[in-house]
A and B are shown apart, each in its own frame.
Chain A
Amino acid sequence: MTENTTIETRLAALARSAPDGIFDIVMRKTELADEYTVVDGPTGPAYVAWNGRGITAFVPTEAVGSHDEFESRHPRQASFVDAPPDRLARHLDRTIETGRLGSLPIDLSSIGEFQRKVLEKCSEIPPGEIRPYGWIAREIGNPGAVRAVGTALGRNPVPVLIPCHRVVRTDGRIGNYAYGTPMKRSLLEHEGLDPEAIEAQARRGIRVVGSDTTGIYCYPTCRHAKRITDTHRIEFHSEAAAMEEGYRACKVCRPAA
């Protein structure tokens, strides 16, 4: 019986701890963990994280700091790699270059329905144009949820890629940004907008502009508003004022009607 005990003890001593790496690899292969790297964004380097479903985070490095800080802030486990996989890299470069989401996959699976709708709507705003918070609220069928739209955009996991910097206050002022107003302004500048002019127009109380030849009113940065020549350009303090003059809302930028 003593020999029996010996052999059992010796067998029990063959147990080993699993190597550390196994957990990480399993998390990655099951897409419960993300990979990340640093890429050049429109305003400098940015951390970008992804999993099999798409991009999960995009943050300017200056807003976060070291890799350790990024990893501890990221909602899932994340491990650094040299570059994104090819299937993402191409789309990512294109989105950064054009300012349009295109077919870049974004993983919004852990985001609630309301926020997802807000972010999806936001991604429709073309580069070089801005829309007020109320526009998103109206477009997603919740005209009263202006404040909630602001909150949802403030928690955008992929700013720049989903261009929440193109959403401004209802009074036309540029307003807040998760990474500070200066970054919001420089992102808009990068897309050819003039933040000073936007603010000046807001101070004068201008919300929409119309063309007296077409009888259509637009948000001032709408691509159709930009085509209106100075002699035909009419400024309005509200959508209602434009409608009173017999103007109708642009079907492209869709201001309130």
Chain B
Amino acid sequence: MTTDFDRLTNRLAVDFDGAFPDLVTTLQDGVFSGVLQFTRNRQDAEDVTQETFVRVFRALKTYDEDRIRALQIRPWVWTIALNLCRNRARTVKRHPETALVDDRLARTTESAEEVAANADLSVWRQRLAGLTGPQRTAVVLHHVVGLPYAEISGSTGRSESTVRSDARRGLARLRTMLEEETR
């Protein structure tokens, strides 16, 4: 995995415009999957995902070759994505009149499977909302997106061992919630 990302940053360093589309295709599924859990709905998640890559583009554009080569690209992209999710959440809190569109209602042309999958998504979003911020970040980035703890540490600035215990506590909390739900 690391070598793939190293190759990507090397290509970005020498041919930025040519390699940037590959950065988007490599990282967009992961970013979208995570952002879905940190925003209210699919539309917000799409907006934040787009905006993340536009910001990444603008920032990298100002970096010189050596700085791009030295980047841990995935954690760095996640730092930007997490910031945008936080900003979005703050705006929503300030403007509560913006209706919360539930995924179950948002789109009507879905197969039964999609409906079930999206319903599952919003149920989990509610459960995850019951965790502390750092716990939710660690659980989503590690268990949904598949980021190693070291990379989560890189994107949040918390130490690796702290991130590890955030994820463990978050998972324990979720387990308790599930038990309470079935009782």
Residues of A within 8 A of B (CB): 3-4, 7-8, 10-19, 21-23, 25-27, 29-30, 32
Contact = CB atoms under 8 A, between A and B. Distances in A.
Given A25-B50, A26-B54, A27-B21, A18 B29 contact: yes
A16 B33 contact: yes
B21 A23 contact: yes
20 contacts: A3-B175, A4-B175, A7-B174, A7-B178, A8-B143, A11-B139, A11-B143, A14-B33, A15-B30, A15-B144, A15-B146, A16-B33, A18-B32, A23-B21, A23-B24, A27-B21, A27-B24, A29-B54, A30-B57, A32-B20
B111 to A, nearest CB: 15
A54 to B, nearest CB: 16
Given A26-B24, A30-B20, A14 B121 contact: yes
A22 B32 contact: yes
Contact of A23 (B28, B54, B145): B28
Contact of B36 (A3, A4, A16, A29): A16
- Closest 5 CB pairs between A and B? A11-B143, A18-B32, A18-B28, A15-B33, A30-B57
A6 to B, nearest CB: 9
Contacts of B31: 18
B24 A16 contact: no
A12 to B, nearest CB: 6
B25 interface: yes
A8, A27, A30, A32 interface centre (most CB from chain B within 10 Å): A30
A30 B19 CA distance: 13
Given A7-B175, A11-B139, A14-B144, 13 more contacts: A7-B178, A10-B124, A11-B143, A11-B144, A12-B146, A14-B120, A15-B144, A16-B33, A16-B36, A19-B32, A22-B24, A22-B28, A22-B32
Nearest to A109: B17
A10 to B, nearest CB: 8
A17 B145 CA distance: 11
A23 to B, nearest CB: 6
B135 interface: no
Contacts of A12: 143-144, 146
A14 B103 CA distance: 14
A169 to B, nearest CB: 37
Nearest to A21: B46
Given A11-B143, A14-B144, A26 B50 contact: yes
A119 B47 CA distance: 40
Interface string B30-54: 1111001100000000100110011
B32 A16 contact: yes
Residue of A3, A7, A25, A26 with most partner-chain B CB within 10 A: A26
Given A21-B46, A26-B53, A16 B21 contact: no
A153 B51 CA distance: 39
Contacts of A8: 143, 171
B49 A22 contact: yes
B168 to A, nearest CB: 10
A30 B53 CA distance: 9
Interface string B47-73: 001100110011000000000000000
A15 B124 CA distance: 12
Contacts of B121: 14, 16
A14 B32 contact: no
A29 B50 contact: yes
Contact of A7 (B20, B24, B53, B171): B171
A19 to B, nearest CB: 6
Q: Which of A16, A23, A27, A29 has the most CB of B within 10 A?
A: A16
Given A3-B175, A7-B171, A12-B144, A22 B50 contact: yes
A74 B11 CA distance: 23
A21 B143 CA distance: 26
B29 A15 contact: yes
A16 B29 CA distance: 6
